[in-house]
Amino acid sequence: MPMSLSERLEEADALLTLRNYFRRKSQTIRDAEARGIPIYVLKNHTLVQIEQGLFNISEANSDGNYVLQALREAEEAVQHVINGADEAIELLPQTAYLRRLQHQVAQRYNLHSRSSGREPLRRVSIFRGDLVDEEL
């Protein structure tokens, strides 16, 4: 997938940053979050980490509108849990940004959610509140 670098957030489709910068919540990161720009966080600036980050961006963009797909998946899971079809639903692995959006979907319906797993397979589970203390 062709990519180009941009130093201006207004021209960016995604933001690639290091974990220590992400934790500081600089103005650029806050602006990207406010604009809904996906943020990809690298543990460190090694070549392998940068390649993995770029691969994740290209994979997400190759699926079309990946944000809508992740939100649709969360909405469907919420409906299954509300209707009692399942006690808990584990969603597909997503980036930190998409997991946060999925947590917000669960919260909107007064359901609980939890992230589990290790990157890049970290995923959200959505469940009823009475399952919070139980094993999922």
Q: Quote the pTM value.
A: 0.53
Is it the case that residue 36 has pLDDT exceeding 50?
yes
**8 A C-beta contact, residue 41 and residue 96:** yes
Stretch(es) of the chain classified as CATH 3.30.1370.50: 66-131
| 66-131: CATH topology | Ribosomal Protein S8; Chain: A, domain 1 (3.30.1370)
Q: Could you tell me the pLDDT band of residue 136, with boundaries at 50, 70 and 90? A: very low
Three-state DSSP at 114 gives strand
- Please compute the mean of the pLDDT values over residues 72-89 and round it to a whole number: 90
At 21, which amino acid appears? Y
Token pair for 103: 């947590």
Instruction: Count the neighbouring beta carbons within 10 Å of the beta carbon of residue 92.
Output: 12
Q: Could you tell me the pLDDT band of residue 34, with boundaries at 50, 70 and 90? A: confident
Q: What is the pLDDT of residues 81-101, one digit of tens each?
A: 999 877 899 999 998 888 999
Establish how many alpha carbons lie within 13 A of residue 31's alpha carbon, considering only the half-sphere containing its beta carbon.
10
**8 A C-beta contact, residue 47 and residue 19:** no
Q: What is the pLDDT of residues 102-112, one digit of tens each?
A: 999 999 999 99
Measured in residues, the chain has a length of: 136
**8 A C-beta contact, residue 106 and residue 74:** yes
Q: Which helix (H) or strand (E) holds 39?
A: strand 39-42
